[in-house]
């Protein structure tokens, strides 16, 4: 089959790879109808995630048609149309039973968190879904059958960025009347803005440095937009215009934020896992007693982490990988009822064969690219 594979730092290719097969009795094989590139895929391409071998199939936002099922699969059957949440979860360990699917004890023998599709050997070594077919373990737990009347574009993001953005707003405790700052206006950031509005936030401030993404937030969602490169100290600026800071600050950037020279050197030497610039803005932009949520993916240890700033101001700090399984059905019902639509962030629909080009425009933020959907 054809698949998009990691072929070294800053290098992805579309290659022919071995078709997946049923390996365990609760596996399923999905014939992919749509898949997408996620911002966290770029962490792999940039060499920020360890244990990423050449030839590894990328992608963790995938949906399609069930092609084959193992003998123990009862939840879905051949021909069902399903979305596949990005964390791989067994469904029966303590964490899964307590809705912490992204911390599953059994799906990743190589680390503390759950397995993730297409995300290196560190996260279980599972091939990803930017391919014609995908093997899905624990077929009675993750895959969710979806209505035929909804298009792939309406529901594909249930695999990751819809639950991830909702989860950030949810654990941040965003409520009616709140002031919310969203750092980063990529796909997750834009959806986070929409969920904050959905939850009743009175004031939402979008922060980024990419003009067309800020324009999207400003024009589509009618929120305030701040370009952090236009201010010497963005956090202090936000603190000033909000008269003390926001109730909730949600960091949707992660390690791919703008790095200082010092951070670039430390990251290259594997002494640090990327930028903490968004965290530093958050320390100043949040009000005393407020909440900061880290939704963007972070890597290893961070030097000069501003822990004292959080401590001194009684800030609640929340973070982690979204336990997507716990949210997909609720969000699916909102989509079915016409209460939420994420399709406005889709800027490009390309074939799987154009995978290399798709990664290039997404990574370089060219051609006003926000979100790419790939069709095998």
Q: Are residues 328 and 314 in the same domain?
A: no
Give pLDDT, residue 305: 79
> Which of the pair, 82 or 279, is modelled with greater confidence?
82
Domain boundary among 319, 347, 364: 319
Q: pLDDT of 129-159, one tens digit each?
A: 999 999 999 999 999 999 999 999 999 999 9
pLDDT mean across residues, the chain: 93
Domain boundary among 319, 335, 365: 319
Task: Examine the pLDDT at 195 and tell me if it is beyond 80.
Answer: yes
Domain boundary among 291, 319, 347: 319
Highest mean pLDDT among 229-233, 263-267, 321-325 belongs to: 321-325
Q: Are residues 85 and 139 in the same domain?
A: yes
Q: Are residues 121 and 192 in the same domain?
A: no
The conformation of residue 131, written as its DSSP 8-state character, comes to B
Q: Are residues 242 and 125 in the same domain?
A: no
pLDDT band with cut points at 50, 70 and 90 for residue 49: confident
Q: Are residues 328 and 354 in the same domain?
A: yes
CATH code: domain of residue 346: 3.90.180.10
Distance CA 367, CA 20 (A): 34
Distance CA 11, CA 363 (A): 11
pTM of the complete model beyond 0.85? yes
Q: Are residues 172 and 303 in the same domain?
A: yes
Q: Are residues 86 and 122 in the same domain?
A: yes
pLDDT band with cut points at 50, 70 and 90 for residue 254: confident
If DSSP codes are grouped into helix, strand and coil, which group holds residue 240?
helix
Q: Are residues 133 and 171 in the same domain?
A: no
How many domains does the chain fold into?
2
Q: Are residues 171 and 292 in the same domain?
A: yes
CATH code: domain of residue 282: 3.40.50.720
pLDDT band with cut points at 50, 70 and 90 for residue 16: very high
Averaged over 344-365, what is the pLDDT? Answer: 98
**Residue position matching structure tokens 């990423």:** 52
If DSSP codes are grouped into helix, strand and coil, which group holds residue 189?
helix
pLDDT band with cut points at 50, 70 and 90 for residue 275: low
Q: Which two tokens stand for residue 135?
A: 């093997």
Q: Are residues 61 and 169 in the same domain?
A: no
Give pLDDT, residue 269: 45
Averaged over 43-60, what is the pLDDT? Answer: 92
Q: Which domain holds residue 306?
A: 165-319
Q: Are residues 123 and 79 in the same domain?
A: yes
Q: Are 284 and 238 in contact (CB under 8 A)?
A: yes
Give pLDDT, residue 265: 43
Q: Are residues 284 and 204 in the same domain?
A: yes
């Amino acid at each position: 089959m054809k698949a998009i594979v990691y072929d070294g730092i800053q290098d992805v290719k579309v290659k022919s790879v071995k078709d997946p097969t049923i390996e365990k009795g609760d596996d399923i094989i999905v014939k992919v109808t749509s898949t997408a590139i996620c911002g966290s895929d770029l962490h792999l391409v940039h060499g920020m995630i360890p244990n990423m071998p050449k030839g590894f199939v990328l992608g963790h936002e995938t949906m399609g048609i069930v092609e084959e099922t193992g003998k123990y699969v009862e939840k879905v059957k051949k021909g069902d149309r399903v979305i596949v949440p990005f964390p791989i979860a067994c469904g029966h360990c303590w964490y899964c039973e307590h809705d912490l699917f992204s911390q599953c004890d059994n799906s990743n023998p190589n680390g503390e968190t759950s397995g993730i599709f297409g995300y290196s050997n560190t996260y279980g070594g599972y091939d990803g879904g930017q391919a014609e077919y995908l093997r899905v373990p624990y077929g009675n737990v993750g895959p969710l059958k979806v209505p035929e009347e909804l298009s792939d574009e309406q529901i594909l993001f249930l695999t990751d960025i819809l639950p991830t953005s909702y989860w950030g707003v949810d654990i941040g405790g965003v409520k009616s009347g709140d002031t919310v700052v969203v750092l980063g206006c990529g796909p997750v950031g834009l959806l986070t803005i929409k969920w904050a509005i959905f939850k009743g936030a009175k004031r939402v401030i979008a922060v980024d440095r990419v003009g067309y993404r800020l324009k999207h937030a400003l024009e589509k969602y009618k929120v305030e937009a701040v370009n952090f490169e236009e201010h010497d100290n963005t956090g202090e600026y936000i603190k000033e215009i909000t008269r003390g800071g926001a109730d909730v600050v949600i960091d949707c950037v992660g390690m791919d934020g703008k790095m200082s020279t010092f951070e670039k050197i430390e990251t290259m030497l594997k002494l640090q896992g990327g930028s903490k610039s968004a965290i530093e803005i958050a320390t100043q932009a949040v009000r005393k007693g407020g909440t900061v949520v880290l939704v963007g993916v972070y890597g290893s240890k961070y030097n000069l982490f501003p822990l004292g700033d959080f401590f001194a101001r009684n800030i609640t700090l929340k973070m982690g990988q979204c336990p997507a399984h716990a949210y997909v059905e609720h969000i699916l019902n909102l989509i079915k009822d016409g209460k939420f639509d994420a399709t406005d962030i889709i800027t490009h629909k390309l074939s799987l064969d154009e995978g290399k080009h798709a990664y290039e425009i997404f990574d370089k933020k060219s051609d006003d690219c926000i979100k790419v959907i790939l069709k095998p």
